[in-house]
Amino acid sequence: MGVAPVKRLSTGAEAIGRGAAEGGVSLVSGRPCSPPLAAVLAAAACEGVRTERAPSERAAAVAALGASLAGARALAVLSGLEGAADALHAAALAGAAGGLVVLAMDDPGLALGPVRSDSRALARALELPCLEPSDARECLAQLAAALELSERWATPVVLRVTARLLLEARPIELGAPAPRPAAGLRRDRARRVLVAEHGGTLAARLEERLGQLAAEGVDSALNRVELRSRALGVVTSGPTYQYVREALPEASTLKLGLSFPLPSELVRDFARAVDRVAVVEEMEPVLESEVRAAGIPCRGKDGLPRLGELSPELVGWALSGVARPARPEPPAPPRPREACPGCPRRALFQALKRARAGVVADLACSAPGVFPPLAVVDAALAPGAAPALAHGAAAVLGPRVRGRLVALTSEESFLHSGALALAQAAEDGHGAVVVLEDGAAPPGERRADLAQLARALGAARVREVQVGELAACEAALREELAASGLSVLVARGRCPAGARSGAPFRVAPERCNRCGACLRLGCPALAEGTAAMAIDGPRCAGCGLCAQVCRAGAIARGEARA
């Protein structure tokens, strides 16, 4: 009697972590900038795969490419392809040695932020084959298929997933982890040195490879024709396949697991087997455009929205004439992100608020400065962008920027790309203040000597402050804002996670005049009591910031914790 396969309920993220172990991946490199991507890295680490946090998407992709060129299997975990586009297009030309898979996560529902990129379109622009799993089981299976395709065709392969797919659980069947040693570096200068002299050959080889992959896609098990009723045939890929099956159980389907390059012949055969064709996809009409370009009339985004996630109800309404689903109630606005009690960012934002400067910040360090009571951030756009935004503004405003503009960046964002902008600003001598957060990242994240780094990049005026000393921090900010030229303020603080600073603070009710200054810090440990403000002792991190803003002297450190 055979042994029954072991099954486990796993999210898409866990399935990919497991797939990395079973597929013999030697390196997973990624930037865990959102919970679903952090879950992929954590799952791979739990499965015993070597996993590293990269400072940027590009660094993750290039590290994975390096591992591949050394003959090992590698997985890059990215929030999208745009941040690594130049490196990935070079990789498409230079090719992979060990299997190289680029996991690209899209967020059609905009649950993680307003930036809406469609990795399917970018994979096409970068000429990289694209696989699209539709559930956790397929995440595991298609990672294995992508590694195999990558090695056989010597190309990086994109595994495109959505945020929802990474978080939804399905039972997956476990195989055995199968570590593989790296084969080692092999010289291949004609492919790996991207000089103009090699360009024509490499471009022709890439073109030929995509044509051959399109032909392979016709018979590939990754692409599946399911013939049911003749009346309607739906071409779909990724998670939307599940919506189609639920909404239109009678419809025939062509499920594209290997969606780029499009297997045009397979789509034509499918179209001949049904009376009418529809394309169901989230976001942009990427498949629809290709199906139309192949000469196949179809329905698509004329009935389905580009914005937001699809659902079985929307698909049923668009294609089978069932009643339009009731417009969902607009979701309640998300709870403003709140910093923990004792977060050093609270002190920094309080100092920035008092200094009355315009603030451009990196997203990673913008909370709690986005919403009241400490709303000081005027712009927070992309990782590492703040120093470059300030540099650009200073370049055109000249002396008018003095005293007005602060660029706030976290250590991670600075290493992502902000450092390059600082080097340029130092060279040009423009005059914004760049505040580098130092130490606010949770324990375990990387640490660099930021003051030394800023000096090495050419900043002549660099000073360090402790953000917990509010008056000194505010004074330093004002002085730097008044100075001419670029200045860098390294704002040191300590993330309180896991370690509190001594005894909690408490309010002496008889001294409190209820002025509200402490409440305007937005510390979750502080609340309005009946007679006076009150501090929740167990939540208080003991940072002492509230005591520094209380002019009545009503707040002081209490008894030591038991």
Binding site for ligand SF4 (CB under 6 A): 341-342, 505, 507, 512-518, 521, 523, 525-526, 533, 535, 540-546, 549-550, 552, 554-555
What's the closest the beta carbon of residue 528 comes to ligand SF4, in angstroms?
Answer: 8
As a whole number of angstroms, the distance between CA 41 and CA 39 comes to: 5
Helices (H), 47-133: 57-69, 85-94, 119-125
Q: Confirm whether residue 540 is marked as ligand binding.
A: yes
As a whole number of angstroms, the distance between CA 524 and CA 117 comes to: 35
Q: In the complex with ligand SF4, which residue's Cβ is closer, 485 or 537?
A: 537
As a whole number of angstroms, the distance between CA 147 and CA 180 comes to: 12
Q: Confirm whether residue 130 is marked as ligand binding.
A: no
As a whole number of angstroms, the distance between CA 123 and CA 205 comes to: 17
Q: What does the DSSP 8-state code read for residue 24?
A: T
Element (H, E) at 266: helix 264-272
What's the closest the beta carbon of residue 356 comes to ligand SF4, in angstroms?
Answer: 21
Please give the C-alpha separations between residue 218 and each of 105, 211, 258, 333, 426, in angstroms, as whole numbers.
26, 11, 10, 46, 55
What's the closest the beta carbon of residue 470 comes to ligand SF4, in angstroms?
Answer: 11
**In degrees to the nearest 10, what's the CA dihedral of 360, 363, 365, 371?**
80
Q: What angle do CA 100, 101, 102 make, to 5 degrees?
A: 125
Q: Confirm whether residue 139 is marked as ligand binding.
A: no
Tokens describing residue 519? 């409440």
Beta strands in 290-380 (DSSP E): 358-361, 377-380
As a whole number of angstroms, the distance between CA 171 and CA 15 comes to: 9
What's the closest the beta carbon of residue 544 comes to ligand SF4, in angstroms?
Answer: 5
What's the closest the beta carbon of residue 495 comes to ligand SF4, in angstroms?
Answer: 13
Beta bridge partners of 28: 51, 75
Q: In the complex with ligand SF4, which residue's Cβ is closer, 217 or 344?
A: 344
Q: Confirm whether residue 340 is marked as ligand binding.
A: no
Residues whose CB is less than 8 angstroms from the CB of residue 328 and which lie 6 or more positions away in sequence, other chains included: none
Q: Confirm whether residue 543 is marked as ligand binding.
A: yes
What's the closest the beta carbon of residue 461 comes to ligand SF4, in angstroms?
Answer: 31
Q: In the complex with ligand SF4, which residue's Cβ is closer, 201 or 513?
A: 513
What's the closest the beta carbon of residue 514 comes to ligand SF4, in angstroms?
Answer: 5
As a whole number of angstroms, the distance between CA 254 and CA 95 comes to: 30
Q: In the complex with ligand SF4, which residue's Cβ is closer, 202 or 512?
A: 512
Q: In the complex with ligand SF4, which residue's Cβ is closer, 235 or 541?
A: 541
Instruction: Report the helix count and the strand count for the chain, using DSSP H and E.
Output: 20, 23
Q: In the complex with ligand SF4, which residue's Cβ is closer, 476 or 525?
A: 525
357, 476 contact by CB (below 8 A)? no
Please give the C-alpha separations between residue 211 and each of 208, 217, 518, in angstroms, as whole numbers.
5, 10, 66
What's the closest the beta carbon of residue 511 comes to ligand SF4, in angstroms?
Answer: 7
Q: In the complex with ligand SF4, which residue's Cβ is closer, 199 or 336?
A: 336
Q: What does the DSSP 8-state code read for residue 111?
A: S
Tokens describing residue 408? 């706030």
Q: In the complex with ligand SF4, which residue's Cβ is closer, 267 or 526?
A: 526
Q: In the complex with ligand SF4, which residue's Cβ is closer, 157 or 526?
A: 526
What's the closest the beta carbon of residue 516 comes to ligand SF4, in angstroms?
Answer: 5
Question: How many CB atoms within 10 Å of residue 370?
Answer: 17
Question: Which residues are known binding-site members for [4Fe-4S] cluster?
Answer: 512, 515, 518, 523, 540, 543, 546, 550
